[in-house]
Chains A and B, each alone.
Chain A
């Protein structure tokens, strides 16, 4: 892939405003995401981060607003809940809406990729929360999306499962190489996963930081903690507390 191709903008948002009745939720948001770029969107509750994601996913029918949104045709969404159809077996959940001649074969491979090989015929209720979320990931990636939108996909998982999911997501994103917009309130998750972290506060982007973690483990830890302090500062958490915590 040429350097110019990787600079191609896949998402372009200009002056996006969204309101629900009176309270302003997004106030003039501009955002570009390049091809294959992993962007984490941080923000406190009510900062408008989910609203932005839902606007990109074209799921905000109830909102009033203005602005321009350009997103790729091939787009997948991972929700906070796995949102598997309870009446479909795993394989049928993965191929749900997938219009390809070899869909079942692709879906089997996608299930194997998320560590659920041989579970094609299981029902969703037979799975743990983490396993269900892995199926949701397989369902999203089997479509080879150009843009993956993820709305706090690990928010309902326990800490250990979440760490495993981070590794899995890193590996899968490296293979499929979609642009990713990950909505999260977990600063560490953002630093570990993303190339770039955006902080949204009261409907405005207040920070846009490239993470660029160095290879050297010691420098890496140093850079991580710097970023952590910086991002938490933008989220209104006192840096002294963070220093103590570290």
Chain B
């Protein structure tokens, strides 16, 4: 709708507690409106109100402030946790040496490949398993079995089967991404309202159109939630797979630093994980707000 902007009387929230006479003098039509009614204006009583663009930085910022003050005052012992500026200076040194970039590049490649194949497999199997009973009978329990077996316990077998090269590493990450994508997409598929299926039947669309117009958009919110888990899983998986037969990657960098007790390098690795994880999560949530504009939710 292309409505013309109209002036809406909407006092600030919370409404200022000034006496009614004062606000009336500003031209607000407040006669007969009690203070309590004024307070109700401007937002849903049970809603969240307007969101702020960079609000998500508040928590990390508070953590950094706490950490900085703790380190500066000696409340946090530097042998237990180095100060935040140590991470910055060590990080700068690592960048100068070129170690950070090269390790990050190779790790990002591994994580990216794992994410790509994991999403592809997760969505495909979720469709097979979600849209057909036989598919569900075959795949669903197998995937629950895979979930129950810890990845760390599987890795020795993976090494036996796939060797110790890149293939094994990407496979482990792929599986870590695959699981949440599958679970959430499958759950969303099976949860699609039967009303929409009935509608699709009455307009006599083909099966492929049904998938395209009902199933995929209906399952999109679930898929995106799965993607948030999956992207995080890809980064976390690095630290596991980069313990094996490798001389590069941020997981390797952290493991090496642990062996030499270089807590500052380990810290750089952890901070890097934090930044990468938070950034990818924000990116997917940005995609959510862009693709799910048709939703009206509490957080709107």
Measured CB to CB, the residues of A under 8 A from B are 57-59, 75-77, 79, 81, 83, 85-88, 96-98, 118-119, 121-126, 143
- If A118-B2, A122-B1, A123-B294 touch, whether A59 touches B214 (CB-CB below 8 Å) is no
Give the number of residues in B that approach A within 8 Å (Cβ atoms).
22
| Contact of A97 with B209 in the complex, beta carbons under 8 Å | yes
Within 8 A of A (CB), among B15-52: none
Interface 0/1 of B196-207, CB less than 8 Å to A? 101111111100
| Contact of A125 with B296 in the complex, beta carbons under 8 Å | yes
| Contact of B213 with A85 in the complex, beta carbons under 8 Å | yes
Residue of B nearest to A136 (CB): B199
A-B contacts, CB under 8 A, total: 56
Residue of B nearest to A76 (CB): B202
What residues of chain A lie closer than 8 Å to B295, measured between beta carbons? 86, 125
**Pairs A-B, 6 closest by C-beta atoms:** A97-B203, A87-B217, A97-B205, A77-B202, A87-B294, A125-B296
**Complex alpha-carbon distance, A87 and B196, angstroms:** 11
Tell me how far the C-beta of B256 lies from the nearest C-beta in chain A, rounded to whole angstroms.
48
For the A-B complex with A76-B203, A81-B195, A97-B204 known, give 19 more contacts whose Cβ atoms are closer than 8 Å: A57-B202, A59-B201, A59-B202, A75-B202, A76-B202, A79-B199, A83-B199, A85-B213, A86-B294, A87-B217, A88-B217, A96-B213, A97-B200, A97-B205, A97-B209, A123-B293, A123-B294, A125-B294, A125-B295
Within 8 A of A (CB), among B205-247: 205, 209, 213-214, 217-218, 220
- If A87-B218, A126-B1 touch, whether A59 touches B198 (CB-CB below 8 Å) is yes
Within 8 A of A (CB), among B64-95: none
What residues of chain B lie closer than 8 Å to A121, measured between beta carbons? 1
**Complex alpha-carbon distance, A88 and B199, angstroms:** 14
**Complex alpha-carbon distance, A143 and B4, angstroms:** 33
| Contact of A85 with B203 in the complex, beta carbons under 8 Å | no
What residues of chain B lie closer than 8 Å to A123, measured between beta carbons? 293-294
Find the residue from B198, B202, B204, B294 having the highest chain A CB count within 10 A: B202
What residues of chain A lie closer than 8 Å to B202, measured between beta carbons? 57, 59, 75-77
| Contact of B294 with A124 in the complex, beta carbons under 8 Å | yes
Chain B contact residues, majority secondary structure? helix
What residues of chain A lie closer than 8 Å to B205, measured between beta carbons? 96-97
Tell me how far the C-beta of A227 lies from the nearest C-beta in chain B, rounded to whole angstroms.
31
What residues of chain A lie closer than 8 Å to B214, measured between beta carbons? 85
**Complex alpha-carbon distance, A86 and B198, angstroms:** 15
Tell me how far the C-beta of A34 lies from the nearest C-beta in chain B, rounded to whole angstroms.
22
What residues of chain A lie closer than 8 Å to B196, measured between beta carbons? 83, 85
Tell me how far the C-beta of A147 lies from the nearest C-beta in chain B, rounded to whole angstroms.
11
Query: Could you say which of B195, B218, B293 contacts A79, with CB atoms under 8 Å apart?
Result: B195
**Complex alpha-carbon distance, A143 and B202, angstroms:** 12
Could you jot down 28 A-B contacts, CB within 8 Å? Answer: A57-B202, A59-B198, A75-B202, A76-B202, A79-B195, A79-B198, A79-B199, A83-B195, A83-B196, A83-B199, A85-B199, A85-B217, A86-B295, A87-B217, A87-B218, A87-B294, A88-B217, A96-B213, A97-B200, A97-B203, A97-B204, A97-B213, A118-B1, A121-B1, A122-B1, A125-B294, A125-B296, A143-B203
What residues of chain B lie closer than 8 Å to A85, measured between beta carbons? 196, 199, 213-214, 217
| Contact of A88 with B213 in the complex, beta carbons under 8 Å | yes
**Complex alpha-carbon distance, A81 and B194, angstroms:** 13
